[in-house]
Amino acid sequence: MIIGVSAETAEGERRVALVPESVARLIAQGFAVCVGAGAGEGAWISDDEYRRAGAKIETSAESLLGTVDVFVKIGPAALSEATGLREGANILCLFSARPNLDVARRFAARRITTIALENLPRTTVAQAMDVRSSQSTVAGYRAVIMAANALAKFFPMLMTPAGTIAPARVFVIGAGVAGLQAIATARRLGAVVEAFDVRPGVREEVESLGAKFLDAGIDEAAVTADGYARALSERAHLRARAAIGRALADADVCITTALVPRQRAPILITAEMAHSMRAGSVIVDLAAEQGGNCELTVPGKDIVTDGITVIGRLNLAGEVAVDASRMYSRNMEKLIGHFFRDGRLQLDFNDEITRRCVVTHAGEILDTDLLSAIEKGQAA
């Protein structure tokens, strides 16, 4: 069975889905690996490193796609990849099925099995495969580094002959994987950190990192069965906004990470709330890819408005390409081991990972949310 990986097609993407260490381990397990020429350049990995790991380097993208049995990548599949993969092949990626309906239909028509990594459940078994968590860890770290770079103040307290400099105050909205990493990184840099989450159960995790937990007095269950935050009622949403507004007024930096699966990110910071921050303050919106948590966020851009810097960059994990690729690659090893054994694809639809992640298989679209959207005419 041949596993293939090539350079990502998304503009500015520097990560690669498999690094040489993973390639060597997969080959030791009996797989063959074919790598597109230059696939690892963005993460400073040469073709020679892949060769030394035992991979074959393929200079033709068309030849690679038409040869491999399993194609692994990071970003959503392009229509050219849906066309180029041989019939009956398999693809593992962050698929984002709904906006890629044409690609999903093409895969189904060509009997290609699509495994969507964003659908992995939050379970102990899936933890080692969870690319969202690994890449969110990278993004949470990178958000703090970007904020420190943009803030015209020190993060730590400094005691100098010129007097004592107070530490920066960082406010983190959302204490999931990215938020917790942001808290930990900001604390390492010496900032005073406060954090808010609609899930009161994360309070202990926040406080264990040395941050203060902001209790907004939300008394409804704001968590899904998977442990992710869910949309709040209007009453609870207003209460959360009020608490956030009070915290923002004292913050030098705000990092937002609040996401609701398959929905637009909730707006938790209005323009008025953002402008209540001191001039020179910074907002890093990690929810920018889903519209942003701040009303001022412009996805893909950094802006300055009335003295407030709002950073809405996309793909922060891609800015730490070396370690982000290494973490993603380790996740992929576990995923490949879960789905491919004894030289073939093995699907057990009684298994939650399989049931949740397989979008197309044997000529059909299986993703229930996508099928529902098609029936309702919501997916174009």
pLDDT digits (tens, 9 = 90+) for 273-330: 999 999 999 999 999 999 999 999 999 999 999 999 999 999 999 999 999 999 999 9
**Same domain as 240, residue 327:** no
**Same domain as 289, residue 177:** yes
**Same domain as 170, residue 65:** no
SS3 (DSSP) at 33: strand
User: Which residue, 281, 314, 347, sits at the end of a domain?
Assistant: 314
pLDDT digits (tens, 9 = 90+) for 158-209: 999 999 999 999 999 999 999 999 999 999 999 999 999 988 889 999 999 9
**Same domain as 173, residue 122:** no
pLDDT above 70 as % of the chain? 94
> Is 328 in the active site?
no
Alpha-carbon separation of residue 65 from 8, 20, 68, 81, 89 (angstroms): 13, 20, 6, 7, 9
96, 127, 276, 290: which one is catalytic? 127
The pLDDT of residue 379: 47
98, 188, 228, 262: which one is catalytic? 228
User: Which residue, 314, 331, 362, sits at the end of a domain?
Assistant: 314
**Same domain as 305, residue 338:** no
25, 98, 122, 262: which one is catalytic? 122
The pLDDT of residue 232: 65
* Closest to 311 measured CA to CA, from 131, 198, 148: 148
Structural domain for 34, as ranges? 2-129+321-376
**Same domain as 242, residue 170:** yes
> Is 228 in the active site?
yes
Q: Please determine, for residue 238, whether its predicted confidence score (pLDDT) is greater than 90.
A: no
Q: What is the mean pLDDT of residues 137-149?
A: 98
Total number of domains in the chain: 2
> Is 127 in the active site?
yes
14, 22, 69, 130: which one is catalytic? 130
CATH number at residue 166: 3.40.50.720
Tokens encoding 202: 């994360």
pLDDT digits (tens, 9 = 90+) for 353-379: 999 999 999 999 998 877 776 777 654
**Same domain as 49, residue 21:** yes
**Same domain as 364, residue 244:** no
Distance CA 247, CA 196 (A): 9
**Same domain as 142, residue 269:** yes
Q: Where are the alpha helices (DSSP H) in the chain?
A: 20-28, 47-53, 61-67, 79-84, 101-109, 131-150, 177-188, 203-208, 234-248, 271-275, 321-339, 352-357, 368-376
Distance CA 152, CA 278 (A): 12
pLDDT digits (tens, 9 = 90+) for 334-348: 999 999 999 999 999
> Is 135 in the active site?
no
133, 134, 181, 325: which one is catalytic? 133
Cβ contact 64:58 at 8 Å:
yes
Cβ contact 300:286 at 8 Å:
no
Q: Please determine, for residue 228, whether its predicted confidence score (pLDDT) is greater than 60.
A: no
**Same domain as 96, residue 166:** no
H or E, element range at 58: strand 56-58
User: Which residue, 273, 297, 314, sits at the end of a domain?
Assistant: 314
Which pTM does this prediction carry?
Answer: 0.92
